[in-house]
Amino acid sequence: MPFDEASLPKTVTAETVLSVRHWTDDVFSLRLTRPSAFRFRSGEFIMLGLMSDGKPLLRAYSMASPAWDDGLDFYSIKVQDGPLTSRLQHIKEGDKVLLGKKPTGTIVLDALKPGKRLYLFSTGTGIAPFASLVREPETYEKFDQVILTHTCRNIADLAYGADLVANLCDDPLVGEEAPGKLTYYATTTREQFDRMGRITTLIETGKLFDDLGVAPLDRETDRVMICGSMAMLQDTKALCENAGLEEGSNASPGDFVVEKAFVD
Q: Which residues bind ligand A2P (CB under 6 A)?
A: 123-124, 151-153, 189-190, 198-200, 228-229, 231-232, 235
CB of residue 259 vs ligand A2P: minimum separation in angstroms?
Answer: 14
Q: Which is nearer to ligand A2P, 36 or 192 (CB)?
A: 192
H helix or E strand, kind and range, residue 211: helix 207-212
CB of residue 94 vs ligand A2P: minimum separation in angstroms?
Answer: 31
Strand order in the sheet with 222-228: 182-188, 145-152, 117-123, 222-228, 256-260
CB of residue 161 vs ligand A2P: minimum separation in angstroms?
Answer: 12
CB of residue 152 vs ligand A2P: minimum separation in angstroms?
Answer: 5
Q: What is the Cα–Cα distance from 146 to 149, expressed in whole angstroms?
A: 10
Q: Which is nearer to ligand A2P, 121 or 143 (CB)?
A: 121
Q: Which is nearer to ligand A2P, 111 or 152 (CB)?
A: 152
Q: What is the Cα–Cα distance from 119 to 99, expressed in whole angstroms?
A: 29
User: ∠192-195-200 over CA atoms, to 5°?
Assistant: 110
Q: Which is nearer to ligand A2P, 84 or 152 (CB)?
A: 152
Q: Which is nearer to ligand A2P, 142 or 260 (CB)?
A: 260
CB of residue 90 vs ligand A2P: minimum separation in angstroms?
Answer: 22
Strand 96-100 vs strand 12-22: parallel, antiparallel, or unpaired?
Answer: antiparallel
CB of residue 6 vs ligand A2P: minimum separation in angstroms?
Answer: 40
Please list, in sequence order, all residues whose beta carbon lies within 8 angstroms of the beta carbon of residue 234, skipping any fewer than 6 positions away: none
CB of residue 215 vs ligand A2P: minimum separation in angstroms?
Answer: 22
Helix ranges, 109-175 (H): 128-133, 137-142, 159-166
Q: Which is nearer to ligand A2P, 16 or 80 (CB)?
A: 80
Cα→Cα distances 162→144, 156, 182, 204, Å: 21, 10, 13, 25
Q: Which is nearer to ligand A2P, 11 or 234 (CB)?
A: 234
Q: How many residues does the chain have?
A: 264
Please list, in sequence order, all residues whose beta carbon lies within 8 angstroms of the beta carbon of residue 121, skipping any fewer than 6 positions away: 149, 199, 224, 225, 226, 227, 228, 236
